[in-house]
Amino acid sequence: MKRISEYKNRFNQLMESKSGDVKPLIKEQQTIKVYSNEVKRWLNDCAENYFNSVNIDDNGYVTIVGDFDCSEQNLTNLKGVTFKEVTGNFSCWGNEITSLVGCPETVGGDFNCGQNKITSLDGSPKTVGKDYLIHDNPKEFTIDDIKLVTKVGGDITVKI
């Protein structure tokens, strides 16, 4: 009952202020990602070998301990997965991927998204421990483009 009276009081305050701003009355609900069994199998298959592990946190962010390779699978996106980190290499080359949205924020090894249909660096990792490869995409990125969005520990390959 106390909660209802709090909302009534807040509503009355808003009505009296004539601002019409009711957003404070509505709590924003957090959406939790739930992946299908098919996507979970895909994650495990792409985690390359039994030394690697796939971890999905309570918010649906995926961490791969080891390498992740989803190359040459005719993908147009990362199946709705949002990666947080891949401790080894992350490779999605040779697909039809148009966006880097969902790619890991942090890649411990190489990041290879060459030979796709990428036209923007939105979603690019913030940190890549080794090499960053983004050659043979419709947009020809420059090394400076990559350096603006990603801290790269190795070489950057924008053209072969």
Q: What is the pLDDT of residues 142-159, one digit of tens each?
A: 999 999 999 999 999 999
Which pLDDT band holds residue 7 (cuts at 50, 70, 90)? low
Q: Where do the structural domains in the chain lie, given as residue ranges?
A: 1-29, 31-157
- Asked whether the predicted pLDDT for residue 9 surpasses 90, the reply is no
Rg (CA), the chain: 21
Please enumerate in sequence order all residues whose Cβ is within 8 A of that of 110, keeping only pairs 6 or more positions apart, or say none.
89, 90, 91, 128, 130, 131, 132, 133, 154
